[in-house]
């Protein structure tokens, strides 16, 4: 793995910041309740390579869907307490292996936990908002990744 140049680092920072600004602005314009998740998705999914951005975006979407689904299922079926939240996180993360979602385990687990801990009263509504905001954020990241690099990173 090669060390990024200052130019590559700056270009990635510009892309991440641009994606974050656009994702938050669009989420607020659409009246979405949690624009922070559009911001997080945009920043985490962005890369200098459009191909890598799409890979990260897909992983982010699938991890969000899986974590939200497990969180909703556990909230509705067994309720929420520290033990069921831990069990839900464990189950969500374990499902990543057979589904070949390597690298999405932590995201899947934390989405499941958030759904169960903070949104147990309306887990399906929260999960749908979370997915919409994530789709918005990764969509913006994908679009921004196609903007040509301003400077060449290497001679």
Which pLDDT score, from 0 to 100, does residue 31 have? Answer: 96
At 113-149, the pLDDT tens digits run: 999 997 767 888 888 888 999 999 999 999 998 887 6
Residue 151 has pLDDT above 80, yes or no: no
Q: How far is residue 131's CA from residue 152's CA, in Å, rounded to a whole number? A: 35
Residue 73's region, left for phi above 0, alpha for psi from -120 to 50, else beta, is alpha
Which pLDDT score, from 0 to 100, does residue 25 have? Answer: 98
**What's the whole-number mean pLDDT along residues 79-88?**
95
Number of Cβ atoms within 10 Å of the Cβ of 28: 11
pTM equals: 0.82
DSSP per-residue codes, 58-118: HHHHHHHHHHHHHHHHHHHHH--SHHHHHHHHHHHHHHTTTTT-TT-HHHHHHHHHHHHHH
- Least confident range from 56-60, 71-75, 84-88, 148-152: namely 148-152
Structure tokens at 104: 């999405």
Which pLDDT score, from 0 to 100, does residue 155 have? Answer: 44
């Amino acid at each position: 793995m090669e060390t990024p140049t200052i130019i590559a680092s700056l270009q990635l920072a510009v892309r991440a910041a641009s994606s974050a600004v656009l994702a938050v602005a669009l989420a607020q314009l659409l009246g979405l309740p949690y624009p922070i998740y559009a911001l997080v998705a945009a920043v985490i999914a962005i890369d200098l390579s459009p191909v890598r951005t799409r890979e990260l975006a897909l992983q982010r979407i699938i991890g969000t869907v899986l974590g939200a689904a497990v969180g909703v299922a556990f909230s509705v079926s067994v309720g929420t307490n520290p033990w069921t939240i831990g069990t839900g996180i464990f189950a969500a993360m374990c499902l990543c292996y057979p589904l070949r979602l390597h690298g999405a385990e932590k995201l899947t687990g934390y989405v499941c936990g958030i759904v169960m801990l903070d949104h147990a009263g309306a887990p399906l509504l929260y999960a749908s908002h979370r997915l919409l905001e994530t789709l918005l954020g990764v969509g913006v990241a994908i679009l921004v990744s196609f903007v040509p690099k301003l400077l060449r990173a290497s001679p």
